[in-house]
Amino acid sequence: MVKPITALGRNGVQDFLLARASALILLFYSLYLIAAIIILSPLRYDIWSQFFGFWLTQVFTLLALLSILVHAWIGLWQVLTDYVKSAGLRLLLQFIVIIWLVSCFFMGILMTGSVL
């Protein structure tokens, strides 16, 4: 069994609940976008821009972005701990994943125009 060096105090139940909660948020966000596409069609740039300028859409988009990052971290952490046996290599790969996810978060904030 692999010792969880970077578990950050989490356990399997917490990971399970976080993964399911983030998946539910992403499901609701997808349904929100599908409903917007149906209601606002035919879509034009100005309509789409106003939709994503609405505060509720910005908050929901930021929440969905955070959910994607949490979901990705849990999944990649589990894969790395299951398949990478070398602790040093696993820590390096997890560090790379963290840098990538944090970069995606800040890029998502820049692209959506959201403010922390």
C-alpha torsion angle, residues 86, 105, 33, 52 (rounded to 10) = -170
Question: In this structure, is residue 6 part of a structural domain?
Answer: no
Question: In this structure, is residue 1 part of a structural domain?
Answer: no
Q: Per residue in 15-65, pLDDT tens?
A: 899 999 999 999 999 999 999 999 998 989 999 999 998 999 999 999 999
Q: Is the pTM of this model over 0.75?
A: yes
- CATH code at 44? 1.20.1300.10
Q: How many domains does the chain have?
A: 1
Question: In this structure, is residue 87 part of a structural domain?
Answer: yes
Question: In this structure, is residue 75 part of a structural domain?
Answer: yes
Residue 78 corresponds to which tokens in the numbers above? 């589990």
Is residue 2 pLDDT above 60, yes or no?
no
Where residue 110 falls among pLDDT bands split at 50, 70, 90? Answer: confident
Mean pLDDT to the nearest integer, 103-116: 78
Question: In this structure, is residue 86 part of a structural domain?
Answer: yes
Question: In this structure, is residue 4 part of a structural domain?
Answer: no
Quick check: 70 and 83 in contact, CB under 8 A?
Answer: no
Question: In this structure, is residue 2 part of a structural domain?
Answer: no
* Neighbour-count burial of 36, counting CB atoms closer than 10 A to its CB (0-12 exposed, 13-18 middle, 19+ buried): middle
Question: In this structure, is residue 69 part of a structural domain?
Answer: yes
Give pLDDT, residue 8: 55
What is the domain extent for residue 36?
12-112
Where residue 86 falls among pLDDT bands split at 50, 70, 90? Answer: very high
Residue 100 corresponds to which tokens in the numbers above? 């990538």
